[in-house]
Amino acid sequence: MSAVIELEKLGVRLAGRQILSDLSVTISGRSIGLLGPNGAGKTTLLHTLLGFHNASAGTARVFGKDIGTEAKALREMTGYMPENESFIAGISAVKFVRLMAELSGIPPWAALERAHEALYYVGLGEARYRNLETYSLGMKQRVKLAQAIVHAPKLIVLDEPTNGLDPPARLRMIRLIREIRESGKVHLILSSHLLRDVEECCDEVLVLKKGRIAAYCNLEEEHRANKRFIELEARGGSDKMAEALGDRGIEWAKSGRDRIKLILPNTLRIHDLFRIANERGIQIRRLDHKRDSLQDIFMKAMEGEPVGGL
C-alpha cells in the first residue's frame, strides 16, 4: 500500500515554542490512530498536515503532496472534523453541510443532494432542517462528521470525535467511523486520548510524547503477535507441562504458581497445548491470550507515566 503520510524530520514551532521535533515516519495504514497525553502535539500535527501551521523544519507529505507547496490540492482530498464546537450560526444543518460541500468544489445541486445524504448517513436526517444552535453536543459532533465526509474526501481527519459524548452517542460515533473505514474508500486519521476509541477504529497507531514520536505500530500485527502470547494455568504439574513445552522448542516462563507464559510457535495451535497436557495427565484450567496490547504499547511509550493522567 502506498504511503498516506510521510514525515521527514518534521518540526513545528508555535509562538516561539518548539511543539513538534524531528518527526520521521511513513504511515500507510487505512486508519491511523494518533495517541498521546495532553500537550503531546497531536492536534498540532493534524493542523500542520492540514496546512494551518507551517513546518519550521523538515517536510511532510500526504498522499505524496507536500503540505507546504500543495496545500490547496491536499485540502481538496481531505475532510476535517475539528475537536472544538465549530459551526456557522443562523443556518440549518442541511444549509451548513451544503455550504461546506460547495466550498470543496461540489456544484450547488450535487452539494445539496450530498448534504441530505450525509446528514441521513450520520443519523440526523429528521433534524436536518433545524438550526445548528438548537443541536445537542452529540448532534453537533455528528454534523461535524457530516461536513467532513460530504465531499467524499480520500482522507478524513478526526480530532477527538467522541469528546464530550455520553456512552450511547460515543458508540454511535465509533460505529459510524468504523463503517466509513470499512467502506474501503477512505483513509482515516483519528486523534484521541481515549485508547479504546483508537483500538476500536484504527489499524495503525502513532504515539506522540512531548512533540516526538514515542511509538509507531501496526495494531493488526500486534494483535496477531499477541495471539501467540499465551498464559495458562496447569493443575497437576506445571513443571511437567513446562518441561513438555521445552521439549517441543516452545519458549516459556513461569509467571506464578501453576502459571506458565509461553509463545506459541506458528507450527502449533491452541488445541496442541491441550493434547500435550492430556498426554502428561495435566489439566489446563485457564488459558488467556495477551490482552490490552494498545495499553501496553502506550505505557511502554510513556515509560511508566500513569495512563490515568491522559
Partner 1 sequence: MAVYERSYKGYEGDLTPNWARFLVLPRTTFRLVFASKMFLVFLIASLLVPLVMASWVYLSHNLQIVEKAFGIQMDSFAQVNAEVFLAFMGIQIMPMGFILVLMVAPQLVSADLANNALPLYLARPFNRTDYILGKMSVLLILLSAVTWIPHGLVFLLQSYFSGWQWFADNIRIGIGIFVFSWVWILTSALVALALSTLFRNKRVIRLSLFAVYIILSGFGGFLYGALKIPFGLNLSLVITQQRVAEGLFGTQAEIPDVSLLSAWVTIIVFCALSVYILFRKIRAYEEVK
Q: Which residues bind partner 1 (CB under 8 A)?
A: 14-16, 47, 50, 52-53, 72-73, 75-76, 78-80, 82, 84-91, 95, 99-100, 102-107, 110, 114, 116-118, 120-121, 125, 147, 149, 151-152, 157, 179-180, 183, 185-186
d(CA 243, CA 278): 14
- Please report how close the Cβ of residue 180 comes to partner 1 at its closest, in angstroms: 5
CB of 102 to partner 1, least distance (A): 5
Q: What is the DSSP letter of 82?
A: -
Q: Are 250 and 270 in contact (CB under 8 A)?
A: no
Q: How far is the CB of 278 from partner 1 (least distance, A)?
A: 49
Give the shortest CB-286-to-partner 1 separation in angstroms: 42
Q: From the CB of 166, what's the least distance to partner 1, in Å?
A: 22
Smaller CB separation from partner 1, 14 or 169: 14
Torsional sign, CA 178, 179, 182, 186: negative
Could you tell me the maximum CA-CA distance found in the chain, to the nearest angstrom? 75
Our CB check for partner 1 shows the closer of 124 and 301 to be 124
Written as one string, the DSSP assignment of 200-264 is: HH-SEEEEEETTEEEEEEEHHHHHHHHHHEEEEEEET-HHHHHHHHHHTT-EEEEEETTEEEEE-
**Alpha carbon of residue 136 to chain centroid:** 25
CB of 89 to partner 1, least distance (A): 5
d(CA 127, CA 281): 65
CA dist 235 to 6, 244, 251, 260, Å? Answer: 51, 14, 20, 11
CA distances from residue 76 to 45, 72, 80, 158, 186 in whole angstroms, order as listed: 19, 6, 11, 16, 13
Closest separation in Å from C-beta 15 to partner 1 = 4
CB 143 within 8 A of CB 122: yes
Nearer to partner 1 (CB atom), residue 77 or residue 217? 77
Q: How far is the CB of 154 from partner 1 (least distance, A)?
A: 9
Judged by beta carbon, residue 118 or residue 245, the one nearer partner 1 is 118
**HSE of 232 in the Cβ direction (CA atoms, 13 Å)?**
28
**In the complex with partner 1, which residue's Cβ is closer, 140 or 293?**
140
Choose between 146 and 302: whose C-beta lies nearer to partner 1. 146
CB closer to partner 1 out of 102 and 233:
102
Our CB check for partner 1 shows the closer of 16 and 249 to be 16
